Structure 1
Amino acid sequence: MADTPTTPDKDAPLREDIRLLGRLLGDTVRDQQGEASFALIERIRQTSVRFRRYDDLDARRELEGILDALEREQTIQVVRAFSYFSHLANIAEDQHHIRRSRAHLLAGSAPREGSLACALERAAHALGQDAPAALADFFTHALVSPVLTAHPTEVQRKSILNCQTGIAQLLDERDRMQLTPEELAANVDSLRRAVLTLWQTRMLRPARLSVIDEVNNGLSYFSTTFLRELPRLYAGIEDHLGQAGAELPAFLQVGNWIGGDRDGNPFVTAEVLERAFALQAAAALGFYLDELHALGAQLSLALGLVQVSDALLALAERSADHSPHRSDEPYRRAIAGMYARLAATWHALLGSAPPRPPVGEAESYADPAEFAADLDILHHSLVANGTAALARGRLRHLRRALRVFGFHLAPIDLRQNSDVHERVVAELLATAGAAADYRTLDETARIDLLLAELATPRLLASPHLAYSEETESELAIFRAARRAHLRFGPAAIQNCIISKTADVSDLLELAVLLKEAGLLRPHEGALDVNVVPLFETIEDLRNAPGVMDRLFALEPYRALVAARGELQEVMLGYSDSNKDGGFLTSGWELYKAEIGLAETFARHGVRLRLFHGRGGSVGRGGGPSYQAILAQPGGAVQGQIRLTEQGEVIAAKYGNPEVGRRNLEVLVAATLEATLLADGGAAPDPAFLDTMQALSDGAFAAYRGLVYETPGFEDYFWQSTVISEIAELNIGSRPASRKKGMRIEDLRAIPWVFSWAQCRLMLPGWYGFGTAVKAWLAARPDDGLAHLRRMHREWSFFATLLSNMDMVLAKTDLAIAARYAELVRDAALRDAIFARIRAEWQDTVEALLAITGQRELLDGNPLLKRSIRNRFPYLDPLNHVQVELLRRHRETHDDERIRLGLHISINGIAAGLRNSG
């Protein structure tokens, strides 16, 4: 609806912020690079805007002419300017989301969909008098865990993130405070300095990123967001539930793969894992020490003015703080003693002294529970003696943070490929004389042999024998995991994930390796970590329910599941299944696998926890988390869910604390609704399932026909995208491919999707749908379209699938993609493949619009449509320049300035698209 004089333009503040930041960036370019550079960049900007907003073809030709004629140094300046603008636009958009959320709260609007308030309100309405008990049971047994992962297309530097945080805080200040003219001028000056700092901060890394660099990058989100915002979110839920004094279990936790994910990354070693835990512990303990220090300053309560508990007095008496100035301040003395114990804990765990020394010597805490007990003494004394309000501030958040993060900060998952486990187990069996050639055995013989090994406490590995480098490395990892358990507690490592799980023996092989490190102890019937299969390919997804059925039929394994609380986690791979079978088939096979797994687990009396290996992009299972969780089949979300957060999506979701808290809240709200308000697993109209299978079969054939069955397609892909440059530039710690060579099968799914996004084709997020729908409608000319429209209206799975495809198609630009196609040296190959892609895109768009009833892409998502309209004029020049840089780079190879410009363009396009990897 158009804004009228009485209807304020809600997006006006966003446009004002973007104009302000753009003007400050322009001023910075003029001051730093000169008037000529500024004039060139401004001409490019205006021409690009003219083309995008008015569909001016003359403007497009003018733009291409300007960009093609740029000299090398001009190219780098243009790429830098438009890349930084993408980052600044992201900051402005995030701030606008915060602004709009606050406006709704200030106006007393009804709770918005995706908020916890809305989810709790829906639960209360739907469940009536049963709601309190149902909610209590949900939070008792729930687990909601976003898991941070690193990958080859992570393109943000921590220094850049710090600059962006400063700019966001200054924009936030303008929103929340009524500034005087002098204060407003000072704010603009501060913004100008922040933009200048951003411009002069190196965007790229001079050397390839190490795993420890990735660990440090991930830790920045804990200090910025998680350590502070998770306790606030918990407090908000507790207050909303209105249960006086009740504290929720630590059901919402942040997981981590960085430092433990070895699949395809030879640089993750036992030493790296231990270093990662040391860095994590330093972050957690450092936060607690700072909070204790601040708490001591706040709790200046004096005897004679307040009553305190005997336990608090005893805690104060044990303190090393004997200052006469604080002799009547028991809380401060108690906190000083706790600080000294926590400082000793720092030394015991990390072997060094904390940044701020304690007042005296003290014994270290044996575990987080001891520290928590002392904090509880503070809490109970305040509550019991008329000062409960003081317990509800910093102390409440510190107590919650400790319960969530412990001394380890975040659990690190271990992950390795099943092929590696197989080779290691085979070598151990051979050297121990248990099996001459394990790898030649059939599945039944493997299972029998592995179960026999799991029944005995005897170890296979001997300290007196030499093993291959791979086997030594794998054994070292598991032994390091055991040491982490002893050092930080069992919460430090809770899951071991098996990539490319294909059969039962893959899980039993990992169990044998865990036994070698003492993480599985047969005589005690103890298993210290979850053995988690990861089903990734289309074939593996189809086989997943059967594999788990056969596994649970094995009594020794079933006993291990019982030891883990009758719960089994299963991870589903969105990325590789998409690369294997295309977007539509991947989504459908994942849906069917979840139904089959839920039925299998129910039959065996085992609780299912699904771990969704979603990427940021739609081509890797991405898209809005709220809709994705609610679109799960009935019975798939049983109060517990884990999902990966990857790449630039981590920065987009959690780089800003308020945005981060909102995204965490969305995950909880969706999990609660999917668990308590689901329809009990009733399937939609059976005809929908039949239709979906037919569409999947058609899309699968079209996708496989292009990607895997078209001669020369690998050459087309490697020449028309930035994949080879991603492989050689310093973008991540792991190789882009699992093996050397150009085979699509060996390429990691992340750079596969990222490369298609960079050239604005987004092919993994839509290819095959148009062909499938066209064929299906041809066979049902009378009622076919009406049937598909009903599927879209009534089935959330299908609606979410099309919504994500809508977003991807809107971000696609065939004209720009055609310029990348020109990089393919074989003209006949180029023309043949691009013609097929163009035709499929047209068919897919037409099918999507017909089914949804939209006139244009994103008609149903005006916010995203606006965002794309605002940012595409600034993305287009980056793409045009990137094509030219690719051409020059492939001609010269040794020009560092061209490499620099190319890398910056990759960064800028990823920032502009926001969910490209």
Structure 2
Amino acid sequence: MSLPYDKMTNIGMLLPFLCEESKIGYEAGKTPEEIVEEFFKNHTDLQTEEQKTELLFKIIQYIERQVVLFDSIEDAAFPNLHSESDNGTVTNMYERSLQDHKLEKIREKLKDFAVKIVFTAHPTQFYPNSVQRILHDLRNAITTDSITNIDMLLQQLGKTPFVNKEKPTPIDEALSIIYYLRYVYYDTIGELFTKIKTTFGNDHFHLHEDLIQLGFWPGGDRDGNPFVTADVTKRVAEELHSAILKAYYNNLKTVRRRLSFRGVSDVLTKLSNELYSAIFRNEKITAEDILKRLDEAEKILVEQHNSLFLDLLVTFKDRVKIFGTHFATLDVRQDSRIHQQVIDTVFAKINGNSEATQEEKFNQLIQISEKVNPDDFEDIVKDTLLTVSQVSEIQQLNGLRGMNRYIISNSDAVKDVMNVYAFFKICGYQDEEINMDIVPLFETMEGLANAENVMNELYQNPIYKKHLAKRGNQQTIMLGFSDGTKDGGYLKANWEIYKAKEVLTKLSEQNGIKVVFFDGRGGPPARGGGKTHDFYASQGKTIANNKIELTIQGQTITSIFGNKEQAKYNFEQLLTAGVENDVFKNAKKDLTEKERALIIELADISYQKYSDLKAHPMFVPYLQEMSTLEYYGKTNIGSRPSKRGGGSELKFEDLRAIPFVGSWAQLKQNVPGFFGFGFAMQQLKEQGRFDEVRELYKGSDFFKTLVLNSMMSMNKTYFPLTYYIKNNPKFGAFWNVLFDEYNLSKNIMLELTGFKILQEEDPLSRKSVKIRERIVLPLLSIQQYALMKIQKGEGDLEAYGKLVTRSLFGNINASRNSA
């Protein structure tokens, strides 16, 4: 209550009144406008519109800081709410393996298994770096119960701005995540590796250092982001290189403090000087150089000093093997349509015309003998060629692990992969010099349906076959959940991805290819997120399980991997989900023919229902006029534009998944997370077949996970907020379609699960959601109040527009517990 704000003394006293007015008012069917106006009348003596909007801005600022405080409290509580022996921890897996006599099987699986978390710059997190640092310190102060520190940090929070004056650049986004690499993941992954090594290792079993890997998209992902250029990519690679060397330099100080013995000390001092020169004088150093010095030190330590503190040196060596000189692997990603444009332009320039099929174009360019000069072209063509040209430079600086794949969004044909291969050839690379995996990303319903044909043709293509052999006959395939969900609805998207994985697993095995699936999972279920451990643990033996690889973004970085305890716990959950899947038999993971047929039936019915909703003439206008969609771009949280395409008319396909899903979340309707799912089950119930759905829920972990994730989405909805729309002449009928489907889905899922309330099986998450929803309820009232004023064209529209934008921040930050 005592946050130090300029010109505001009693916000902490007033806020509970607005909260109460909102709660009672919505249940009585009042509109947000009525609630806010009554609050002004009953609890303030403000007269002018300007005074009222000023108070609302102050309340927003206050609530934002309440959210930060609750984040910090929840983070600080994490170790008390989870134990070392929880399901899904390394300790739990070890105990299980002893009981079931499966220890050797686990060691066998760990030999070539890996988990990779890829950090993206997708902007679903609104805290500027300065606030993130306070959050970090506040959590520590709460953990140690330091009242003085907490008070000081809250005061700092009160005076620290939450809003970026300008959009962050891709470099800003990269540096923001590099902060986490240095101060969270360097230690977390190092400690976890040591823990697994001591738990499962023995004289015969050596744990490979690539077990837990990090990937990095900020600065490399140019899909839809014109601000990511070849220069930016190079600079981010350099920042990653510099960050890991600094982490080693600091770590080495601790090691040297203990290893002060003759001979050892000299070697480590030399290494310290070499690292310093590499960081500040740009002198070249490789991971092999560092390891050579550490081996030298180890030899002296063992032979002359009784191996004293050897574990310190070995742990440090392990980290150098894990992180190399790259820290995290920087990926390049671009849209296939941009690639086609580049190929067309280069082909026309070389041949003087563009009369050829797309297949003829890439085939001819692959055979080219002389290098194309990027400076002969302009804009995106030049930049694409420069990006490809500098890959070998980045690999020399950061090692081959520093950059080794090129991801193609919107892949739906063989040409999309072969075009990228052609880029390397026209940039002067010989076949054996292309040390890159080319990764198609299948994300739309059409792309997923095409995936089998595309990969089959690729596996048969002699040029690509040769390339794959050089890459160890391993193919990574990315599957995009968020665009899939936007395109096909929740159940259909998840089923199509599951099916695509099965088909591609079988196809790859037939061709002698080891396939790795890379999942583009978002935060909330509506973007393909939800409980990640449950998702991976539910995949049966028909899906390749060579590696778990997924994207983590926005608030999921801070909420799931934001501090050491959480990061360690969640890395363990992913690792054990993958290992246990192969080692411990569970019939509920494998779908029977009957279960499969039923899921297909449900998915098709739900897809039709969702497609009808998308085709509704009010679908896009409703989002445009009644939600916060138009305001996402004004928040300055990400460097990327909030929609594709340059036209002023808004088309469904131009909508990015984040603003699309986020706008439904701000309305508290979360439509993509459930729409059509309940309807499909109701159809079967009306046919007298609900027992079949019950059997499916009990018998299939995959289906059960989807139901529980969808219920999480519904637990975060609050339709009373928008009751007022049901009487709107333009949108009333459309709102009722949404509301009816929500009620139907909620009732039928409760009936299916036997729960009395949503998320009954996860009391911790349910409690967190409820507290957060209570904190942001007044914020939602303010946002809807401002939107209503704008819709009516009343008062100072600019001020109301700013209120809508400002209220986005707290709402999004508060919904962090979504994955």
TM-score (norm 1): 0.83
- Tell me, in whole angstroms, the C-alpha distance in 2 between the residues paired with 1:640 and 1:684: 21
Q: Report how many residues are paired.
A: 806
- Tell me, in whole angstroms, the C-alpha distance in 2 between the residues paired with 1:680 and 1:503: 36
- Tell me, in whole angstroms, the C-alpha distance in 1 between the residues paired with 2:343 and 2:30: 65
Question: What residue is the counterpart of 1:22 in the other structure?
Answer: none
- Tell me, in whole angstroms, the C-alpha distance in 1 between the residues paired with 2:264 and 2:256: 7
- Tell me, in whole angstroms, the C-alpha distance in 2 between the residues paired with 1:672 and 1:66: 57
2:8 equivalent to 1:27: no
Q: CA 1:205–1:60 in structure 2 vs 1: closer, same or farther (change >3 Å)?
A: closer
Task: Answer whether contact 2:125 2:813 (CA < 8 A) is retained.
Answer: no
Quote the offset at 1:171 in angstroms.
Answer: 1.6
Quote the offset at 1:751 in angstroms.
Answer: 1.2
Question: What residue is the counterpart of 2:46 in the other structure?
Answer: none
- Tell me, in whole angstroms, the C-alpha distance in 1 between the residues paired with 2:241 and 2:786: 43
Question: What residue is the counterpart of 2:430 in the other structure?
Answer: 521
Question: What residue is the counterpart of 1:224 in the other structure?
Answer: 183
Residue 478 of structure 1 aligns to a residue whose secondary structure is helix
Task: Answer whether contact 2:201 2:207 (CA < 8 A) is retained.
Answer: no
Question: What residue is the counterpart of 2:349 in the other structure?
Answer: 431
Residue 390 of structure 2 aligns to a residue whose secondary structure is helix
Amino acid of the residue matched to residue 722 of structure 1?
Answer: T
Amino acid of the residue matched to residue 802 of structure 1?
Answer: V
Deviations 1:305-337 (A, max 9, x none): xxxxxxxxxxxxxxxxxxxxxxxx433322221
Task: Answer whether contact 1:149 1:256 (CA < 8 A) is retained.
Answer: yes
2:721 equivalent to 1:816: yes
- Tell me, in whole angstroms, the C-alpha distance in 1 between the residues paired with 2:36 and 2:66: 20
Question: What residue is the counterpart of 2:222 in the other structure?
Answer: 262
Question: What residue is the counterpart of 1:458 in the other structure?
Answer: 369
Quote the offset at 1:844 in angstroms.
Answer: 0.7
Amino acid of the residue matched to residue 672 of structure 2?
Answer: P
Question: What residue is the counterpart of 2:48 in the other structure?
Answer: none
Amino acid of the residue matched to residue 501 of structure 1?
Answer: S
Out of 421, 428, 431, the residue aligned to residue 511 of structure 1 is 421
Question: What residue is the counterpart of 2:668 in the other structure?
Answer: 760
Question: What residue is the counterpart of 1:564 in the other structure?
Answer: 471
**Structure 2 counterparts to residues 507-586 of structure 1, below 5 A:** 507-518=417-428, 520-522=429-431, 524=432, 526-586=433-493
- Tell me, in whole angstroms, the C-alpha distance in 2 between the residues paired with 1:67 and 1:745: 41
Residue 183 of structure 2 aligns to a residue whose secondary structure is helix
Deviations 1:815-874 (A, max 9, x none): 11445x48xxx9333101001001111111112111111122111111122222222221
Structure 1 unaligned residues grouped into runs of 5+: 1-25, 106-110, 175-186, 302-328, 350-363
**Structure 2 counterparts to residues 589-738 of structure 1, below 5 A:** 589-677=496-584, 683-707=590-614, 709-738=615-644
Q: CA 1:892–1:408 in structure 2 vs 1: closer, same or farther (change >3 Å)?
A: farther
Question: What residue is the counterpart of 1:315 in the other structure?
Answer: none
- Tell me, in whole angstroms, the C-alpha distance in 1 between the residues paired with 2:722 and 2:477: 38
Q: CA 1:639–1:68 in structure 2 vs 1: closer, same or farther (change >3 Å)?
A: farther
Question: What residue is the counterpart of 2:45 in the other structure?
Answer: none
Deviations 1:358-412 (A, max 9, x none): xxxxxx554111111212222343344565451223x344322221222222111
Quote the offset at 1:280 in angstroms.
Answer: 1.4
Residue 254 of structure 1 aligns to a residue whose secondary structure is strand
Question: What residue is the counterpart of 2:235 in the other structure?
Answer: 275
Tell which deviates more after alignment, 575-584 or 889-898: 889-898
2:245 equivalent to 1:285: yes
Residue 829 of structure 1 aligns to a residue whose secondary structure is coil
- Tell me, in whole angstroms, the C-alpha distance in 1 between the residues paired with 2:32 and 2:372: 67
Q: CA 1:886–1:217 in structure 2 vs 1: closer, same or farther (change >3 Å)?
A: farther
Q: CA 1:706–1:289 in structure 2 vs 1: closer, same or farther (change >3 Å)?
A: same
Amino acid of the residue matched to residue 317 of structure 2?
Answer: R
Quote the offset at 1:74 in angstroms.
Answer: 0.7
Structure 2 unaligned residues grouped into runs of 5+: 42-50
Quote the offset at 1:116 in angstroms.
Answer: 1.4
Task: Answer whether contact 2:173 2:218 (CA < 8 A) is retained.
Answer: yes
Quote the offset at 1:793 in angstroms.
Answer: 1.0
Task: Answer whether contact 1:614 1:643 (CA < 8 A) is retained.
Answer: yes
**Structure 2 counterparts to residues 844-883 of structure 1, below 5 A:** 844-883=745-784
Q: CA 1:120–1:76 in structure 2 vs 1: closer, same or farther (change >3 Å)?
A: same
Quote the offset at 1:195 in angstroms.
Answer: 0.9
Q: CA 1:763–1:387 in structure 2 vs 1: closer, same or farther (change >3 Å)?
A: farther
Question: What residue is the counterpart of 1:179 in the other structure?
Answer: none
Residue 402 of structure 2 aligns to a residue whose secondary structure is coil
**Structure 2 counterparts to residues 130-529 of structure 1, below 5 A:** 131-132=103-104, 134-174=105-145, 187-243=146-202, 246-301=206-261, 329-347=262-280, 349=282, 364=283, 366-385=285-304, 387-388=306-307, 390-393=309-312, 395-433=313-351, 436-438=354-356, 441=357, 446-447=358-359, 449-454=361-366, 456=367, 458-459=369-370, 461-462=372-373, 466-518=376-428, 520-522=429-431, 524=432, 526-529=433-436
Task: Answer whether contact 1:428 1:460 (CA < 8 A) is retained.
Answer: no
Question: What residue is the counterpart of 2:79 in the other structure?
Answer: 98
What is the aligned-residue RMSD (CA, Å)?
Answer: 2.7
Task: Answer whether contact 2:642 2:659 (CA < 8 A) is retained.
Answer: yes
2:44 equivalent to 1:73: no
Task: Answer whether contact 1:634 1:679 (CA < 8 A) is retained.
Answer: no
Amino acid of the residue matched to residue 149 of structure 1?
Answer: T
Amino acid of the residue matched to residue 288 of structure 2?
Answer: A
- Tell me, in whole angstroms, the C-alpha distance in 2 between the residues paired with 1:418 and 1:882: 38
- Tell me, in whole angstroms, the C-alpha distance in 1 between the residues paired with 2:573 and 2:304: 37
Quote the offset at 1:636 in angstroms.
Answer: 2.4
- Tell me, in whole angstroms, the C-alpha distance in 1 between the residues paired with 2:170 and 2:120: 11
Task: Answer whether contact 1:530 1:569 (CA < 8 A) is retained.
Answer: yes
- Tell me, in whole angstroms, the C-alpha distance in 1 between the residues paired with 2:40 and 2:188: 47
Quote the offset at 1:194 in angstroms.
Answer: 0.8
Residue 207 of structure 1 aligns to a residue whose secondary structure is coil
Amino acid of the residue matched to residue 115 of structure 1?
Answer: T
**Structure 2 counterparts to residues 867-906 of structure 1, below 5 A:** 867-888=768-789, 891=793, 901-906=803-808
Tell which deviates more after alignment, 598-607 or 666-675: 666-675
Q: CA 1:61–1:551 in structure 2 vs 1: closer, same or farther (change >3 Å)?
A: closer
Larger radius of gyration: 1
**Structure 2 counterparts to residues 764-803 of structure 1, below 5 A:** 764-779=672-687, 781=688, 784-803=689-708
Quote the offset at 1:41 in angstroms.
Answer: 2.0
Quote the offset at 1:34 in angstroms.
Answer: 4.4
- Tell me, in whole angstroms, the C-alpha distance in 1 between the residues paired with 2:343 and 2:36: 58
Task: Answer whether contact 1:47 1:60 (CA < 8 A) is retained.
Answer: no
- Tell me, in whole angstroms, the C-alpha distance in 2 between the residues paired with 1:720 and 1:292: 56
Deviations 1:115-153 (A, max 9, x none): 11222333444454xx32x33433332221010001243
Q: CA 1:250–1:377 in structure 2 vs 1: closer, same or farther (change >3 Å)?
A: farther
Amino acid of the residue matched to residue 765 of structure 1?
Answer: G
Quote the offset at 1:527 in angstroms.
Answer: 3.0
- Tell me, in whole angstroms, the C-alpha distance in 2 between the residues paired with 1:214 and 1:893: 37
Q: CA 1:333–1:683 in structure 2 vs 1: closer, same or farther (change >3 Å)?
A: closer
Quote the offset at 1:566 in angstroms.
Answer: 0.9
- Tell me, in whole angstroms, the C-alpha distance in 1 between the residues paired with 2:594 and 2:806: 49
Q: CA 1:818–1:387 in structure 2 vs 1: closer, same or farther (change >3 Å)?
A: farther
Amino acid of the residue matched to residue 413 of structure 1?
Answer: D
Q: CA 1:140–1:437 in structure 2 vs 1: closer, same or farther (change >3 Å)?
A: farther
